[in-house]
Amino acid sequence: MRRLLLSALALTLATGASAQSPQSEDQKTLYAIGVLIGKQLDVFGLSPAEFAMVKQGLDDNAAGKKLAVEPEAYQPKINQLAQARMKITAEKQKEKSKAFLDQAAKEKGAQKSPSGLVYVPIHEGKGAQPKPTDTVKVHYTGTLTDGKVFDSSVKRGQPAEFPLNQVIKCWTEGVGKMKVGGKAKLVCPSAIAYGDEGRPPTIPGGATLVFEVELLDIKK
């Protein structure tokens, strides 16, 4: 965890948390800070007792008390704890995803590759097929296995363009199977997506991702 996290935590408590729902724009802004900090803490998977110890550190810092430990000295241990907890969380995510991946592989027309990618054609295109070195233009929606959307060019109303060899392996392989004008679902296990680290707070470590991708064009 960066030093910014600890500083932000202390700042949040120092502002004085309210038990009431936020009303003013300032209160809503402070509330949003708390939510974002809470999401950053998710990586630690804190138990109630552990969270209470974190809060004690917040209380002591906000009150200007003498600190029980020097945070700077514990930065390496904070990083070690984050890495260890992240690995545990990732393993749990991967275990939860097994049934989802198995079910996806049984869908009509599904193709499962050695990498673990499950490719499900929705609409076959009739245009050219991209090479890994090509830049493609696509519309896409990305969801977690529970259906929660984490990214969507469709919602933004703006197609995305990128070199096919500079994205996650799942996309390089999956979009490479498509033809212009086609649409497909790519079910991506974490090994060919964002791995054990994920992209907190949006994508948990070890998460299987689902993309619906429409290949609009191959840019020359």
Q: Which of 140, 192, 196, 203 is catalytic?
A: 140
Nearest one of 103, 129, 109 to 210, comparing CA atoms:
103
Residue 140 catalytic? yes
Residue 119 catalytic? no
CATH of the structural domain 99-219, one choice from 3.10.450.350, 3.10.180.10, 3.10.50.40, 1.10.238.10: 3.10.50.40
Find out whether 171 and 130 touch, Cβ atoms under 8 Å: no
- pLDDT of the residue at 19: 63
Domain regions of the chain by residue span: 25-68, 99-219
What's the pLDDT band for 124 if we cut at 50, 70, 90? Answer: very high
Find out whether 93 and 190 touch, Cβ atoms under 8 Å: yes
Q: Which of 151, 162, 217, 218 is catalytic?
A: 151
Looking at every residue in the chain, the average pLDDT score rounds to: 89
Instruction: Look up the pTM and report it.
Output: 0.74
Residue 150 catalytic? yes
Q: Which of 44, 119, 192, 194 is catalytic?
A: 194
What's the pLDDT band for 38 if we cut at 50, 70, 90? Answer: confident
Residue by residue, what is the 3-state secondary structure of 119-143?
Answer: EEEEECCCCCCCCCCCEEEEEEEEE
- pLDDT of the residue at 220: 74
Residue 122 catalytic? no
pLDDT digits (tens, 9 = 90+) for 153-207: 999 999 999 999 999 999 999 999 999 999 999 999 999 999 998 998 789 899 9
> Which residues have CB under 8 Å from 11's CB, separation 6+?
33
Q: Which of 37, 78, 168, 218 is catalytic?
A: 168
Tally Cβ neighbours within 10 Å of residue 171. 24
Residue 31 catalytic? no
